[in-house]
Structure 1
């Protein structure tokens, strides 16, 4: 009897437990686990200057990538190329506590202290287009292969002038990583042609009017110059204006004995116009929109723990554009 009562009690308890579980199962549902909110990131982005078509194209690429990834892009900067004017924008994004900072530094050396302040505030930094001398502080560096671009220009010049004669360079102020390397690449390559002499390497202060004056002076001092290499848009358009006014421009279709060949870096609207009208015969074209896209993608990869996808040092290939291939390469022209 005792055993029977125990069994009966056990069955009764089991039934009650089952009933209780049944009621719990069919009653009010238990609370579902809360979904973890996806973190939202803000990427600060400071170009070399805001108004240049090169950086406008970069902004379009960066904004498109930010929209695709669902991040906020805080694009800001100054309209003049000057590190002392650029630094306050870096400090402003530090104050905003952006999650990542991408910068096209205005000076190879002088821009470092402001970037180090961002890093000290816990904000990782990457550079795009231009960079700084201490790249160990960066999470990535994206730029064109400027040395190779300078080599392209030297080979083109050498071929056009028959591998002999005088040439000149219209340069920018030293201390800007991109133009320094473009000049280095050109001068290194041109030395391989023993019958070509570089008779001038002038600084323009990034002003077309200064470039025009420089070319006037070069041609006055060295009337036998056969070709000019301009390291950026301002140098290129200024040089084109000078040669036009001096009636020393060259033509791909009808080369003349006294005409001066002109090749310039970049593909901003005034340069494309000069290419079309024959004032410039060749352009070394970069890919700023792609640089902007890559910078935002790498910043996002860093913030989402995909650091293995980031290549620290990135050199994008330039394109040599003439009238012959202009249509097929026009997608790279700046906005």
Structure 2
């Protein structure tokens, strides 16, 4: 790889508008591995709060990719406190970085330090949720926004809950942090569907701020007020599993259906075991590792070239995962006509997550 200079690297590397294909970046990965010592890269990364399993998985994936690329990451934990995250960004802008990637805890709180970074020529990648209103993000100088379709994920799970409810009954929504645009979108997806069913009653809709203790308390409260509750949709898996435990403690495991978002391993296992009705994959692995790849690439080829070649929005898509399996006996000899070939997707998803692939 000693012959792979910057010009050859640019000729041999491709950016796909649908996302990143590692095979197309192998020349760059090898280039970085060969030059990590003489061209070291330093990155600052931050997520809303490492106490969340999604964020913790994302940090692991980011450090895995950083190891491949010879990038030294300093992590700034947002602590699920937007003001604490802002204070850390006010600190990090006084230091030198080759790139910065962030999942903001709330929209609008990091605009000033992000502007300081971009005006000084530092590539900034926005992960999962918006730093600023979308129409302002590019003018702020952000290189790329890597995120899931939060509305789709919520709608996928809520639709399965509604189907299991047979379109009638009481349902509760446990939200994330109100300032988090991903949580706002999941709430939108929830109401997009429940508002279509006149026989469904939303009896509670409160934020738990991604806090499992608060999610458990909200669940206990709504069950006390509505012992005939049929379903709970939580904005992430951690809160969904906390809610499910309270439901089981109350002896209502067969009555109250629960679904979440993120498809973290404990939730995928709970779906497989029938404790959760559904979850949907918000790939922490893709979002965080792609952010490292994008940032290292921009730091290597230059921000101007990166802006010309890299799409601004990169969808990190993922499916919904359901407890039930499509096992229509009439199609046993034609399994390709069944959803997922009549098999459970759980084990494959768990494996791909463990390899930082999905």
Give how far 1:264 is off.
Answer: 1.1
Structure 2 unpaired stretches of 5+: 1-36, 324-343
Distance in 2 (alpha carbons) for counterparts of 1:269 and 1:222: 30
For residues 230-261 of structure 1, the C-alpha deviation after alignment (integer angstroms, 9 at most, x for no partner) is 111332122112101111113xxxxxxxx111
- SS where residue 141 of structure 1 aligns? strand
Does 2:75 correspond to 1:76? Answer: yes
**Bigger-Rg structure (1/2):** 1
Q: Which residue of 2 aligns with 1:47?
A: 47
- The structure 2 residue matched to 1:148, chosen from 134, 149, 152, is 152
Q: 1:173 to 1:49 in 2, by over 3 A?
A: closer
Give how far 1:206 is off.
Answer: 2.4
Q: Which residue of 2 aligns with 1:112?
A: 111
Give how far 1:147 is off.
Answer: 0.8
Aligned residue pairs total 290
Give how far 1:90 is off.
Answer: 2.3
Does 2:314 correspond to 1:314? Answer: yes
- The structure 2 residue matched to 1:217, chosen from 211, 214, 221, is 221
For residues 177-197 of structure 1, the C-alpha deviation after alignment (integer angstroms, 9 at most, x for no partner) is 111111111211222233322
Matches within 5 A, 1:193-232: 193-232=197-236
Give TM-score, length-normalised by structure 1: 0.78
Q: Which residue of 2 aligns with 1:279?
A: 275
- SS where residue 66 of structure 2 aligns? helix
Give how far 1:63 is off.
Answer: 2.6
For residues 144-190 of structure 1, the C-alpha deviation after alignment (integer angstroms, 9 at most, x for no partner) is 11111011012111211112222111112310111111111121122
Q: CA RMSD in A?
A: 2.4
Does 2:256 correspond to 1:260? Answer: yes
Q: Which residue of 1 aligns with 2:349?
A: 329
Distance in 2 (alpha carbons) for counterparts of 1:293 and 1:273: 24
Q: 1:278 to 1:107 in 2, by over 3 A?
A: same
Contact 1:179 / 1:231 at 8 angstroms: preserved in 2? yes
Give how far 1:276 is off.
Answer: 5.2
- SS where residue 96 of structure 1 aligns? coil
Give how far 1:332 is off.
Answer: 5.1
- The structure 2 residue matched to 1:167, chosen from 165, 168, 171, is 171
Contact 2:154 / 2:190 at 8 angstroms: preserved in 1? yes
- The structure 2 residue matched to 1:186, chosen from 186, 190, 194, is 190
Matches within 5 A, 1:77-92: 77-78=76-77, 80-92=79-91
Q: Which residue of 1 aligns with 2:286?
A: 290
Contact 2:53 / 2:238 at 8 angstroms: preserved in 1? no
Q: Which residue of 2 aligns with 1:12?
A: none
- SS where residue 311 of structure 1 aligns? coil
- SS where residue 248 of structure 1 aligns? coil
Give TM-score, length-normalised by structure 2: 0.73
- SS where residue 163 of structure 1 aligns? coil
For residues 51-105 of structure 1, the C-alpha deviation after alignment (integer angstroms, 9 at most, x for no partner) is 43322322232233333334x2323122621122112332343232102111111
Give how far 1:127 is off.
Answer: 0.9
For residues 4-48 of structure 1, the C-alpha deviation after alignment (integer angstroms, 9 at most, x for no partner) is xxxxxxxxxxxxxxxxxxxxxxxxxxxxxxxxx974432221122
Distance in 2 (alpha carbons) for counterparts of 1:177 and 1:244: 31
